[in-house]
Amino acid sequence: MAVLESTKEPAYIKETAVFLREEAPEVVADATDEEIHKLVGAGIAQTRRHGIDDVNCIRQFILFMAWCGPDFDQETWASEILADRDSSQQSKISRLEDHILSAQEGE
């Protein structure tokens, strides 16, 4: 598990912006680099509040923000998952993803 260090945050923001352009082009196609960088920065702050510091988990959380909206973590289903103190970071991310993908299949 690689933890995001604050000194490496600027490079991580750029890398994650590239990741979003590759993984969610339909969502970020009209966004400027500055807007994506702002989203990534907000995502890093949100994951810190939820006790998530693994770089891969943070990146997935930010992808979920792109898919579901920047405040998806305030939805009841997401906040319950994120508040579960007995679950690991990876487990929380997996549960969030399962919920999101299930909801998309139901559409």
Q: Residue 27: helix, strand or coil by DSSP?
A: helix
Domain spans, the chain: 6-105
Which of the four pLDDT bands, split at 50, 70 and 90, describes residue 22?
very high
Please return the burial class of 94, using the count of CB atoms within 10 Å of its CB with bins 0-12, 13-18 and 19+.
middle
Neighbours of 89 (CB within 10 A): 20
Q: Residue 6: helix, strand or coil by DSSP?
A: helix
- What is the model's pTM? 0.90
pLDDT tens figures, 43-90: 999 999 999 999 999 999 999 999 999 999 999 999 999 999 999 999
